[in-house]
Amino acid sequence: MAEKFLDSISMEEIKENMKMTRMGQMLVNDGFKAGIEKAKLDNAKSLIGLLDEQVIAERIGLSLETVQKLKTQLASANTDQ
């Protein structure tokens, strides 16, 4: 959306200014946290069926309940196909 109103130089300047603000840093941190959580979920999904649920939860850093929910979701998705 910003492309409609700003040229690339202006966007880079705003990007640099946002990096220096507390709000900008908070947004970056939130993005990192979301990315890490997504990676954990993706890794757990790839290990379901190969390892015990408890081992997956411990090694990846997810709760056992989360791994069990992922397993249920994957099983449901496979039966829908």
CB-count burial class (<10 Å; 0-12, 13-18, 19+) for 56: buried
Supply the pTM of this predicted model: 0.68
Checking if the pLDDT of 2 tops 60, the result is no
What is the length of the chain?
A: 81
> SS3 of 51, please?
strand
Lowest mean pLDDT segment, chosen from 12-21, 46-55, 64-73: 12-21
Q: Read off the pLDDT of residues 33-60 as tens digits, 9 standing for 90 and up.
A: 999 999 999 999 999 999 999 999 999 9
pLDDT at 81: 65
Element (H, E) at 46: helix 22-47
Hey, where are the domains in the chain?
A: 2-80
Q: What is the mean pLDDT of the chain?
A: 87
Strand partners, 6: none
